Amino acid sequence: MKFHFPIVFVLISILGGCIIPESNHVEPEYHLLVSLSSDDNETLYLPDVSFYVREVSIPPYLDDSRFARRQNTSSLAYEENHRWGEPLGEGISRVVGLNLSSILGSLSYSSYPSRARNAATYEISLSVLQFERVERLKVRVVAVVEIFHRNSLQSQFKVDELIPIDGSRVGNETRALSEALDEISKIISREIFELPLSQCMLIKISEVEYSNTSFDQLVQELSSHFMSNTNSDQQIDNVIRLASGFDHSTTSNISIEEQDVTLLDLIKQVQRKTGTTLKFSRTEIIFVPLP
């Protein structure tokens, strides 16, 4: 038998070259933000409120599945092996929605990317400016929050939370970011609770009887009910009032007889009877004549 050594050598070389070396690839770990709010504290309960958390705005540097780490004011690093298990903006929206639902005691809510519920009382917008670890054992979350009622801005404020990381694992970092969202959700809930519209939803009136009462007198009575029963820290005279320059002389006197109604129900009934519209703000509820 003859051996063709050149051919055998070539075959061995080819087969040897096909040997695949052991891979150094490391499968990344995926993480989720979680809701940490509990419903044990009923201080801010608004069970009849409904809300929608809009799409969260995040800066381009955070629009990445990798964890961002701020090294200094102008330098960033990304973690290749630790990534978000969902788009970061959607995760923030989801957790804030869960937190608000728990704190306010309301199940009438939805969060982006789900659609808004019809006629939600409030819509919450968050513009995130910073959301990452900033020091070896701290995370920082900065955002601008806006609260709307029927597309009318009710409140706008900035939040800035610096939370310590309790441990060296990435899971501890994720929890710290979740804690920051919990603190921000408490601030949002307090702001929603303080709004005059929310307070009017809470104030219950056992019996109401007005007979042939003038519009301006009735509005004063409504404002008096508010000031006597509000749980808000705001102390403003004439929270419920007529718009400046409103000529109500042509408005007919009003008669109302009701039992077990909220102040908001009563305000809306007066609005319907007078053919006016309502303007809600952070400090007032104003009856405005139709154009």
Main-chain dihedrals φ then ψ at residue 98, nearest 5 degrees: -60, -45
pLDDT score at 57: 98
pLDDT score at 175: 96
Q: How far is CA 285 from CA 186, 209, 252, 265, 288, in A?
A: 24, 22, 21, 13, 10
**What residue ranges define each of the domains in the chain, with the CATH number in brackets?**
28-194 (3.40.50.10610), 204-289 (3.55.50.30)
Is the model's pLDDT at 22 over the cut of 80? no
Is the model's pLDDT at 28 over the cut of 70? yes
Residues 6+ apart with CB under 8 A from 282: 154, 155, 195, 196
Question: What average pLDDT does the structure give for the chain?
Answer: 89
- Tens digit of each residue's pLDDT (9 = 90 or more) over 225-265: 999 888 766 666 789 999 998 888 888 899 999 899 999 99
* More reliable by pLDDT, 24 or 27: 27
